[in-house]
Amino acid sequence: MGESRDYLEMSFRSIECFSNDGKLDAKELGQILAIAEKDGEIDHNEIRVLRNIISKVEPEEIDDSMRLMLKEVSDKINA
């Protein structure tokens, strides 16, 4: 089987999320994480995309639910 293209789907989904209201919320980030996890592993391209997405989240946009989701993502990609 060839290399997973899930990272492309993740990228397009993040563009949709950010273009919708200019922000990413915890639910949207969870949906993007689910794309990365659907094949049972988060590969290096998916990690790269997740880190890029997270880098675009502004500090003032981080509420409690986003903080928890960011921790969940971080735990999974830094494991």
Q: What is the pTM of this model?
A: 0.91
Convert the pLDDT of each residue in 12-37 to its tens digit.
999 999 898 889 999 999 999 999 99
- Could you tell me the pLDDT band of residue 4, with boundaries at 50, 70 and 90? confident
Q: What is the percent of the chain where pLDDT is above 90?
A: 84
* CB contact at 8 A, 10 and 50: yes
**Cβ contacts of 20-28, under 8 Å, gap ≥ 24:** 23/57, 23/58, 23/61, 24/53, 24/56, 24/57, 24/61, 25/65, 25/66, 26/63, 26/65, 26/66, 26/68, 26/69, 27/65
First CA to last CA distance, the chain = 25
